Amino acid sequence: MNLRRVRADFPVLSAADGHPGPVYLDSACMSLVPRPVLRAMEEYYTEYPGCAGRSLHRFAERVSAGYEGARERFAKFLGRKDPAGVVFLRNATEAINLVGQGLPWRRGDRVVISDREHNSNLVVWQRLAVERGVRIEVVPLPDHDPFDEEELEDHLRGRVRLVSLFHTSNLDGSTLPVRAITERAHDHGALVMIDGCQAAPHRAVDLDRLGIDFYAVSGHKMLGPTGTGVLAADPSALGQIRPLLLGGETVESTTLGTHVLRPPPYRFEAGLQNYAGVLGARAALDYLSAIGLEAVEAQQRSLNSIVTRALESEPRVHVLGPPAPEDRPSIFAFALDGIDPHDAALFLDEGHGVLVRSGLHCVHSFYAARGLPGNVRASFYLYNDRADAEALVAGIEELLERVPDRPSSGTSGAMTGGRPRSARARRRVAGSRGAAFRSAPPPRRAGSGRGGSAAGSD
């Protein structure tokens, strides 16, 4: 992979107005968008802004072909032979809701999840438990040891209808053995849904081979535009799902009293769709495929190793998840003794131009169960380079130096006293936000800071 060329494809990474470009380490939340994706969307709006599958004019013909081509592209990318299993949606959350709310549940049916699921793969089951008598079985995941298949087996006894687990964790970047999980679940007659949000952008997935029934991904974590998601289902499993929304495009025919639904996937795509987004997401897959996911993962492994090795002898840095960076290539999540995660994130941005995420990462249940205030999460993607990894390390080291590890010390002193040392950091503080940063405590989000709940809504 030619990293310089890749970086040049992402306009937001360019330096501007004398400021260096950002060190963007929040791709697990959403990835950046390269020029070919922007171009695909602009082309749609400037050359053929029509609706697919309705009108017969030339715009409509072109967008229909592009939209269905995108379906085929997603099917190929994710290892589905039949594109009819690919449903375009707003995001992965909608994909999980479609399955959760669309399966024909009976009171007493069980759904198996882990204790580290994103809220998007938790709340939907909680509602089903309250309203439809579905029982939630929670498999506790070990902190460092490999996934315990026997533990899963214990939870598969009884009437398990669905196993719904993440593929790669958005908390720490570790990956579950989804093939073995799927085999065991199928042996017990359960369907399998995998939340692939943090896996599909980074590693090749072959869904037909893995036997996974439902797989949810978001386009905006794999170089696509926001508001694009896909449910990549096995067509026979998809046939068991009731649509969430009904209306235009979902029906073959209607009378005033009845309707006949179209076959999947069309019955699930109600109303006018996000054509520009889907066409952009298609271009994103082309971009990723041209680079190759193996190269993407290798790059992340190497950056994560740089950061892990540089900080491993620092006793105040606690890395979440498996100790070896190879086992969590896309994510370096950490806590710093004596420093609130939100304060750390603000410091890294203000002082070093390093953009990370802090808080509970939509896995409130994990932190609540452990009484922890959250973490800082740096996540890598194909446009990150060695300098990015080094900037993160420099930022963390400087923060640790500024904030002594005293249980009673506040962290805002670190934000306000003195100036950041690095040249890059000095350039950053020259602006107006930098002036505020030097003269006053950094803006605090609700709940941030020691003693606050630090929960926020994240």
Query: Minimum Å distance from CB 218 to ligand PLP?
Result: 3
257 neighbors 250 (Cβ within 8 angstroms): no
Nearest Cα residue to 374 out of 434, 454, 451, 432: 454
d(CA 104, CA 92): 21
Integer angstrom CA distances of residue 8 from 3, 31, 170, 303, 352: 8, 15, 27, 19, 21
Query: Minimum Å distance from CB 118 to ligand PLP?
Result: 4
Q: Which of 34, 201, 229, 265 binds ligand PLP (CB under 6 A)?
A: 229
Comparison of 229 and 420: residue with beta carbon closer to ligand PLP: 229
Query: Minimum Å distance from CB 245 to ligand PLP?
Result: 16
When asked if residue 166 is in the footprint of ligand PLP (CB under 6 A), the reply is yes
Comparison of 197 and 317: residue with beta carbon closer to ligand PLP: 197
Hey, which residues between 191 and 210 contact ligand PLP (CB under 6 A)?
195, 197-198
Residue type, 175: T
d(CA 400, CA 391): 14
Comparison of 382 and 429: residue with beta carbon closer to ligand PLP: 382
When asked if residue 447 is in the footprint of ligand PLP (CB under 6 A), the reply is no
Query: Minimum Å distance from CB 433 to ligand PLP?
Result: 26
Q: Which of 64, 114, 170, 384 binds ligand PLP (CB under 6 A)?
A: 170
Residue type, 201: P
Q: What is the C-alpha end-to-end distance of the chain, expressed in Å?
A: 34
Q: From residue 119 to residue 158, what is the string marking binding to ligand PLP with x (rule CB under 6 A)?
A: -x--------------------------------------
Part in contact with ligand PLP (CB under 6 A); list of ranges 42-50, 88-96, 273-281, 447-455? 88-96
Query: Minimum Å distance from CB 98 to ligand PLP?
Result: 12
Query: Minimum Å distance from CB 330 to ligand PLP?
Result: 11
Query: Minimum Å distance from CB 319 to ligand PLP?
Result: 19
d(CA 311, CA 316): 9
Integer angstrom CA distances of residue 157 from 109, 140, 161: 11, 16, 11
30 CA to centre of own chain: 7
Q: Which of 73, 118, 155, 328 binds ligand PLP (CB under 6 A)?
A: 118
197 catalytically annotated = no
When asked if residue 92 is in the footprint of ligand PLP (CB under 6 A), the reply is yes
The per-residue b/e assignment along 153-177, b for 16 or more CB within 10 angstroms, e otherwise, is eebbeeebbbbbbbbbbbbbbbbbe
Comparison of 48 and 367: residue with beta carbon closer to ligand PLP: 367
When asked if residue 48 is in the footprint of ligand PLP (CB under 6 A), the reply is no
d(CA 353, CA 347): 9
350 neighbors 437 (Cβ within 8 angstroms): yes
When asked if residue 175 is in the footprint of ligand PLP (CB under 6 A), the reply is no
Q: From residue 346 to residue 385, what is the string marking binding to ligand PLP with x (rule CB under 6 A)?
A: ----------------x-----------------------
Comparison of 64 and 330: residue with beta carbon closer to ligand PLP: 330
Quick one: which H or E segment has residue 162?
Answer: strand 160-166
Written as one string, the DSSP assignment of 286-339 is HHHHHH-HHHHHHHHHHHHHHHHHHHTT-TTEEE-S-SSGGGSTTEEEEEETTB
Tell me the number of residues near ligand PLP by CB under 6 A.
14
Pick the catalytic residue: 29, 51, 197, 362? 362
CB neighbour class for 229 (10 Å; exposed up to 12, middle 13-18, buried from 19): buried
When asked if residue 114 is in the footprint of ligand PLP (CB under 6 A), the reply is no
328 token code pair:
């969590």
When asked if residue 91 is in the footprint of ligand PLP (CB under 6 A), the reply is yes
Part in contact with ligand PLP (CB under 6 A); list of ranges 91-99, 108-116, 200-208, 288-296? 91-99
The SS3 assignment for 40 reads helix
Provide the binding-site residues for ligand PLP, judged by CB under 6 A: 29, 91-93, 118, 120, 166, 170, 195, 197-198, 218, 229, 362
Residues annotated as catalytic are 362
